[in-house]
Structure 1
Amino acid sequence: MGQVVDRTTFTRRDRQRYRIKVQRCLDTLEEMLREYPFADSEPMTGVEIEFNLVDGDLAPSLNGRDVLETINAEEFQTELGRWNLELNLPPRPLPGDEWRLLEHELLDLLAGAGAKAGDLRTQLVMIGILPTLRTDHMVAESITPDDRYRALNDQMLNARGEPIRIDITGNGGSERVAEDFETIIPEAACTSLQLHLQVAPADFGKYWNAAQCLAGVQLGLGANSPFLMGSNLWAETRIPLFEQSCDVRTPELRNQGVRPRVWFGERWIDSVLDLFAENARYFPALMPVTSEIDPMTQLREHGAPALPELTLHNGTIWRWNRPIYDVSGSEPHVRLENRVLPAGPTTVDMVANALFFYGLLRTLVEAEQPLWKTVSFEAAAENFTTAAKHGMNAPLYWPGTGWIRPDELALRKLLPLAHEGLARWGVSGAVCDRYLTVLERRCVTRQTGSSWQVDTVAALEERGLDRPKALYGMVERYVAASAANVPVHTWEIPD
């Protein structure tokens, strides 16, 4: 939710007007999808990366605003937590060597930003959940002092009517986090890699369905968030943490089947309009800010409207694969935003994860027999949750194969399909080989960011360190290896 919000309180009339306006935007979008030309040229991609800021003790540093001012680069912006920043890279084509250039650009940006942050005794860390985060960091004072964050916090808590409950039990059952929070600050603990792909509106349904099929595989191969507030929980603890920290439902509403605002979904779709219509049908407004512009009038008299109410509402519903409507210049477009992956461990690992995803999308969308026609939506959702819990060890269901671990599935079937898809996109062979080889070696070694963190902490504890000191030692090693940009499958476990 990156739109400017300059209000923190809303009336009943505000909500009524907003509901009407969202529906008006939806009607306008429906007409546009029938008759209006959308961008449909070369495949454009975008990347957002969320960072943690740490101090000299590798604990969360709450000086995000100061770091942002020191970096002084338009690509960076604040996030909900004062220990977070977000990096938005400009859109770029997918074909050719663009993503090798993206790796270099990202490394240069991080080196420059890291040097400036260092002047404030702060480091940037790309990791799904910062392992040194403690309960005493999760307080109201840790929220970035910005109207939109304050409004979001107030509206979500008002809708829930009681504290935010985080209750996650680890896979072995011996470790658990069960805490109540008076703000939505636990959401700030989740930092992710967000991948965008602009697609033709007529093809959006197929791309979203394919992305949903791949979500479990993405998590299994890319997990990087095993620790929360000192406890070893899921391979990708970020998934249940984000779901719970943004859950405005009371237990009674959950029992009634009310949909969560962090949502995998419940069915395959035919059109991007299906998702926006679900947003309007199922979810009450959190931030009912209404403009005076009528979108239908703007469409007929001035061209493509911004549809601000529709896009703001969409920004308060956190689907793991989210539809985006936007206007660049005077040309509207739709894109798929994939929010499944955690940040890190390295730039090269994130580029490898991205290209694996983009390549598979193309192959699955163009397959003679669509994958989502041969598997139930419930199975795709179960794959997602199972992979979040177990990472590389997750038993996933895949049509034509049955139950299989994600590393075996990638080695036997998916990596060749990703190669084929990237070639269809026009990605150079050298780029395909560089990054998909990283994925291949990760599967062969069966070492993800998550498994490396768990194994390293276990090794340090065997040396006699307690959990806090073991986490510190692990994060210290993580930061050094991440900065060196060596793929996580090559990271060593301490003896």
Structure 2
Amino acid sequence: MGQVVDRTSFSRRDRQRYRIKVQRCLDTLDLMLREYPFADSEPMTGVEIEFNLVGSDLTPSLNGRDVLETINAEEFQTELGRWNLELNLPPRPLPGDQWRQLEHELLDLLAGAGAKAGDLRTQLIMIGILPTLRSDHMVADSITPDDRYYALNDQLLNARGEPVHIDISGNGSGEQLAEDFETIIPEAACTSLQLHLQVAPADFGRYWNAAQCLAGVQLGLGANSPFLLDKHLWAETRIPLFEQACDVRTPELRNQGVRPRVWFGERWIDSVLDLFSENARYFPALVPVTSEVDPMTQLHSDGAPELPELTLHNGTIWRWNRPIYDISDSTPHVRLENRVLPAGPTTVDMVANALFFYGLLRTLVEADQQLWRTVSFEAAAENFQTAAKHGMNAPLYWPGTGWIRPDELVLRKLLPMAHEGLSRWGVSAAVRDRYLTVIERRCVTRQTGSTWQVDTVAALEERGADRPEALREMVERYLVASTANQPVHTWEIPD
């Protein structure tokens, strides 16, 4: 939800007007998809990375605004939590060696930002959930002072009518977290890598379906969030935490089958319009800010409209693969936003994760037999949840193979498909080899960010450290290895 919001309370009339405007935007988009030219040139990609900020004691540093001012770079912006920042890299083409250049650019940005943050005795860390986070950080004062965050917090809590209840049982560890919070600040504990891919509107349905098929594999290979509030929980605890932190449903509404706002979805689609239509049909307004502009009139008189109510509404529904409508250089486009992966562990790991995803998408979309025609949507959703729980050990269902672990599936089937897809995108051979080798070695060693964190903490506890001490020392080692940009499969476990 990146739009400017200058209000924190809304009337019944506001909600009524907003619903009407969302439908008007939807009707306009329907007409545009049938008759208006959209961007469909070379494949453009984008990246967003969310960070945690830590102080000298490696616990959350609540000085995000000060750090942002010190960094003074337009690529960085605030996030919900005062210990968070977000980095948005400019869009770039996928072909050639663009993503090798992106790795260098990102490393330079992080080095510069890290040096300036260091002046405030703060470090940036890319990790799905900060393991040194404590309950006393999860309070109202930790929300970034901004009307859009206050509005989101107030409206989510008003819709729920109860405290935010987080209840996550550990995956085989015997540990459990069950706690209530008076704000939506638990959502700020989740930091992610968000991948964007601009596609032609006619192709969007196939790309979204393929991305849904791959979500479980992505999590199995990329899990990096095993700890929350001193508890060892899921391989990617960020998934249930985000789902529960933004859930406006009471238990009774869940029992009735009301859809959650953090959502995998429930069916394969044919068009991007299917997703925006579901948003309007199933989800009431959270932040009903309306403009005076009529989108249909704007389309006929001034060209492509911004559809502000539709895009704001879409920003308050957190699909793991989300549709985006946007305008660039007066030309509308649609893109797929993949929100599955956590941040980190390193820049090279994140670039490898991204290119593996983009390559597989291309191959699956252009396959003679479409994968989503041979697997149920329920199986894809189950793969996603199973991979979040078990990571590399998750039994995933894959057509023609049956039940298989992510590492075996990648080594036996998916890695050659990713190579082929990147080749079709026009990605250079050197880039393909560099980053897909990282994926291959991660599968061979079976070491992800999540497994490294768990094994390191276990080793430190065997030495006599209690859980908070072990987590702090693990984070210290994590920062050193992450800054060195050595892929996570090479990180050592303490003896």
For residue 247 of structure 2, give the secondary structure of its aligned residue in structure 1. Answer: coil
The TM-score normalised by the length of structure 2 is 1.00
Q: Distance in 2 between matches of 1:217 and 1:198?
A: 22
What is the aligned partner in structure 2 of residue 223 from structure 1? 223
Identity %: 89
What is the aligned partner in structure 2 of residue 89 from structure 1? 89
What is the aligned partner in structure 1 of residue 299 from structure 2? 299
In the TM superposition, residue 173 of structure 1 has moved relative to its aligned partner by 5.3
In the TM superposition, residue 386 of structure 1 has moved relative to its aligned partner by 0.1
In the TM superposition, residue 174 of structure 1 has moved relative to its aligned partner by 1.6
In the TM superposition, residue 397 of structure 1 has moved relative to its aligned partner by 0.1
What is the aligned partner in structure 2 of residue 136 from structure 1? 136
Q: Distance in 2 between matches of 1:480 and 1:16?
A: 52
Q: Distance in 1 between matches of 2:171 and 2:310?
A: 39
> Structure 1, residues 167-208: CA drift from partner, whole Å, max 9, x if none?
000012521110000000000000000000000000000000
8 Å contact from structure 2 (residues 173, 232) kept in 1: no
> Structure 1, residues 390-430: CA drift from partner, whole Å, max 9, x if none?
00000000000000000000000000000000000000000
Q: Distance in 1 between matches of 2:464 and 2:330?
A: 62
Q: Which amino acid aligns with 1:17?
A: R
What is the aligned partner in structure 1 of residue 352 from structure 2? 352
> Structure 1, residues 65-109: CA drift from partner, whole Å, max 9, x if none?
000000000000000000000000000000000000000000000
What is the aligned partner in structure 2 of residue 7 from structure 1? 7
Q: Distance in 2 between matches of 1:173 and 1:287?
A: 39
Q: Distance in 1 between matches of 2:193 and 2:58?
A: 21
For residue 252 of structure 1, give the secondary structure of its aligned residue in structure 2. Answer: helix
Structural mapping, 1:5-84, within 5 Å: 5-84=5-84
> Structure 1, residues 276-301: CA drift from partner, whole Å, max 9, x if none?
00000000000000000000000000
Q: Distance in 2 between matches of 1:234 and 1:474?
A: 18
For residue 345 of structure 1, give the secondary structure of its aligned residue in structure 2. Answer: coil
8 Å contact from structure 2 (residues 164, 183) kept in 1: yes
Q: Which amino acid aligns with 1:424?
A: R
8 Å contact from structure 2 (residues 198, 333) kept in 1: yes
Q: Which amino acid aligns with 2:381?
A: A
Structural mapping, 1:472-487, within 5 Å: 472-487=472-487
Q: Which amino acid aligns with 1:51?
A: F
Structural mapping, 1:76-475, within 5 Å: 76-172=76-172, 174-475=174-475
In structure 1, list runs of 5 or more residues that go unmatched. Answer: none
8 Å contact from structure 2 (residues 326, 333) kept in 1: yes
Q: Which amino acid aligns with 2:318?
A: W
Q: Distance in 2 between matches of 1:349 and 1:3?
A: 30
For residue 196 of structure 2, give the secondary structure of its aligned residue in structure 1. Answer: strand
Q: Which amino acid aligns with 1:28?
A: T
Q: Distance in 1 between matches of 2:138 and 2:238?
A: 15
Aligned-residue CA RMSD in angstroms?
0.3
Q: Which amino acid aligns with 1:58?
A: L
Q: Distance in 2 between matches of 1:412 and 1:386?
A: 20
Q: Distance in 1 between matches of 2:304 and 2:413?
A: 42
For residue 77 of structure 1, give the secondary structure of its aligned residue in structure 2. Answer: strand
For residue 33 of structure 1, give the secondary structure of its aligned residue in structure 2. Answer: helix
Q: Distance in 2 between matches of 1:346 and 1:464?
A: 29
For residue 183 of structure 1, give the secondary structure of its aligned residue in structure 2. Answer: coil
Q: Distance in 1 between matches of 2:389 and 2:380?
A: 15
Q: Distance in 2 between matches of 1:397 and 1:328?
A: 39
Q: Distance in 1 between matches of 2:152 and 2:490?
A: 41
Q: Distance in 2 between matches of 1:20 and 1:128?
A: 38
Q: Which amino acid aligns with 2:162?
A: E
Q: Distance in 2 between matches of 1:449 and 1:171?
A: 16
Runs of 4+ off more than 3 Å: none
For residue 447 of structure 1, give the secondary structure of its aligned residue in structure 2. Answer: coil
In the TM superposition, residue 449 of structure 1 has moved relative to its aligned partner by 0.1
For residue 20 of structure 2, give the secondary structure of its aligned residue in structure 1. Answer: helix
For residue 87 of structure 1, give the secondary structure of its aligned residue in structure 2. Answer: strand
Q: Distance in 1 between matches of 2:306 and 2:147?
A: 22
Q: Distance in 2 between matches of 1:162 and 1:405?
A: 39
Q: Distance in 2 between matches of 1:399 and 1:456?
A: 35
Q: Distance in 1 between matches of 2:173 and 2:94?
A: 43
Q: Distance in 1 between matches of 2:340 and 2:449?
A: 15
8 Å contact from structure 2 (residues 262, 320) kept in 1: yes
Q: Distance in 2 between matches of 1:260 and 1:44?
A: 30
8 Å contact from structure 2 (residues 194, 338) kept in 1: yes
Q: Distance in 1 between matches of 2:178 and 2:121?
A: 32
Q: Distance in 1 between matches of 2:274 and 2:283?
A: 14
Q: Distance in 1 between matches of 2:332 and 2:472?
A: 47
For residue 234 of structure 2, give the secondary structure of its aligned residue in structure 1. Answer: coil
Q: Which amino acid aligns with 1:259?
A: R
In the TM superposition, residue 150 of structure 1 has moved relative to its aligned partner by 0.2
Q: Which amino acid aligns with 1:161?
A: G
In the TM superposition, residue 144 of structure 1 has moved relative to its aligned partner by 0.1
For residue 70 of structure 2, give the secondary structure of its aligned residue in structure 1. Answer: helix
